[in-house]
């Protein structure tokens, strides 16, 4: 197998052969049982960190082979080394502390009722910075086991995710007397992270963001307003700060964002189309592509896509990761045709609507269900963009 340094780069930003690909996926994958057992054993002290790492390495290698066999050019590590898609990263930022027992409960909804999840809180209690790239060692291992035709993708939470749930209340005023100073430091830290992972060979980076999708939901905006925050313009602040982090990104690095309304044990938080944020988001966010949740009526219609400018790709998340039932190819093709009324077909791609396991618990699917979903994405994309 070629060393990472010798592998060809299968595309650069704006190159039709580059990412995001016609058949793509968001990133997280269901954890295999042996990995879940190893994590439990590590938590109980039955194995040490090195033994857990060995199990993780093996599981990642298996996941890489699975993605290759499915025909996907994008390859991720399934986020196998994380407990959640976002908090592992956020707690690794210097100046941010985990605060147990202070996180506000999140109410996830599903067809059978609700699930309450109470993550730990966070406190910005020191100058914010990122030195050694977070998840840099994860990327190194992924690149070492990826096949030459695969493009490793690193997924990290957007800067917005550090702020959305806590706002100014989570920032120590003795460290940052005003939010502008905090945002300047956070965007600079993310810029360092981006340069750092690019220097380690990252050519495909994804900023995962629930906040810009949540803000489409009037109920979410009402909750933000009740906290005394500017719910009507918060998305504009988030877009500016992400752009600040990306302003000097290295050449040859493709950056996408994924918008999601919540994904925990096959449940969700927010509802509503992209209408509220669409013009500012699609016209103003300086990324190369948008992974958009579009698996059911919660996501609204395709009309907001009219604001997507030429040259940027939209990855339609039409295949759900929340349910095992397999979508019809004909239905997927019909929906792609509908989206193409608002943005040209050559700018569109196909993927599942979210990851399969945004948290370690995973969604209510089996590994076989996951495989069938990924196979369906690849087969449908091949027929649409042949």
Q: What is the pLDDT of residues 250-259, one digit of tens each?
A: 999 999 999 9
| CA 285 from centroid of its chain's CA atoms | 16
Determine the pLDDT at residue 25.
98
What pTM value is reported for the model?
0.92
Structure tokens at 291: 């992974």
- What is the residue-wise DSSP string for 184-251? HHHHHHHHHHHHHHHHTT--EEEEEESHHHHTTSHHHHHHHHHTT--TTTHHHHHHHHHHHHHTTPPT
* Alpha carbon distance, N-terminus to C-terminus of the chain: 29
Overall number of domains in the chain? 1
Nearest to 308 by CA among 249, 250, 349: 349
pLDDT mean over 50-55: 98
Determine the pLDDT at residue 344.
98
Q: Per-residue pLDDT tens for 306-321?
A: 999 999 999 999 999 9
Nearest to 124 by CA among 80, 82, 87, 176: 176
Determine the pLDDT at residue 365.
95
Which CATH number is 179's domain given?
A: 3.20.20.210
- What is the residue-wise DSSP string for 124-136? EEEEEE--SPTTH
Determine the pLDDT at residue 121.
84
Give the residue numbers spanning the domain of 146.
4-384
Q: Per-residue pLDDT tens for 255-307?
A: 999 999 877 777 767 788 999 999 999 999 999 999 999 998 888 999 999 99
Q: How many CA atoms lie within 13 A of 9 on its CB side?
A: 17
Structure tokens at 105: 């409960």
């Amino acid at each position: 197998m070629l060393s990472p340094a010798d592998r060809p780069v299968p595309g650069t930003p704006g190159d039709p052969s580059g990412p995001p690909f016609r058949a793509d996926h968001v990133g997280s994958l269901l954890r295999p049982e042996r990995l879940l057992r190893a994590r439990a054993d590590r938590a109980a002290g039955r194995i040490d960190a090195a033994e857990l790492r060995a199990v993780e390495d093996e599981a990642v290698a298996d996941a890489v082979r699975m993605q290759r066999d499915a025909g996907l050019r994008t390859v991720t590590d399934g986020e196998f080394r994380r407990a959640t898609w976002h908090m592992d990263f956020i707690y690794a930022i210097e100046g941010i502390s985990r605060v147990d027992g202070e996180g506000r409960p999140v109410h996830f909804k599903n067809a059978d009722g609700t699930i309450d999840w109470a993550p730990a809180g966070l406190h910005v209690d020191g100058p914010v910075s990122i030195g050694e790239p977070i998840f840099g060692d994860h990327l190194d291992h992924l690149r070492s086991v990826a096949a030459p035709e695969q493009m490793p993708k690193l997924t990290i939470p957007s800067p917005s995710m550090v702020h959305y749930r806590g706002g100014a209340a989570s920032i120590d005023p003795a460290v940052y007397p005003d939010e502008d100073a905090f945002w300047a430091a956070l965007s600079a830290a993310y810029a360092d992270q981006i340069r750092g992972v690019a220097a380690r060979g990252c050519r495909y980076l994804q900023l995962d963001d629930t906040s810009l999708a949540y803000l489409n939901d009037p109920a979410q905006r009402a909750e933000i307003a009740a906290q005394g925050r500017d719910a009507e313009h918060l998305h504009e602040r988030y877009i500016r700060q992400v752009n600040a982090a990306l302003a000097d990104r290295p050449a040859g690095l493709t950056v996408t964002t994924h918008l999601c309304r919540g994904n925990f044990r096959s449940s969700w938080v927010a509802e509503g189309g992209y209408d509220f944020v669409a013009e500012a988001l699609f016209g103003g966010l300086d990324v190369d592509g948008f992974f958009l949740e579009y698996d059911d009526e919660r996501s609204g219609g395709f009309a907001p896509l009219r604001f997507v400018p030429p040259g940027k790709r939209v990855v339609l998340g039409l295949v759900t990761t929340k349910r095992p039932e397999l979508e019809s190819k004909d239905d997927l093709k019909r929906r792609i045709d509908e989206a193409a009324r608002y943005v040209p077909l050559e700018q569109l791609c196909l993927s599942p609507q979210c990851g399969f396991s945004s948290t370690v618990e995973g969604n209510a699917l089996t590994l076989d269900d996951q495989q069938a979903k990924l196979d369906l994405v690849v087969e449908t994309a091949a027929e649409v963009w042949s």
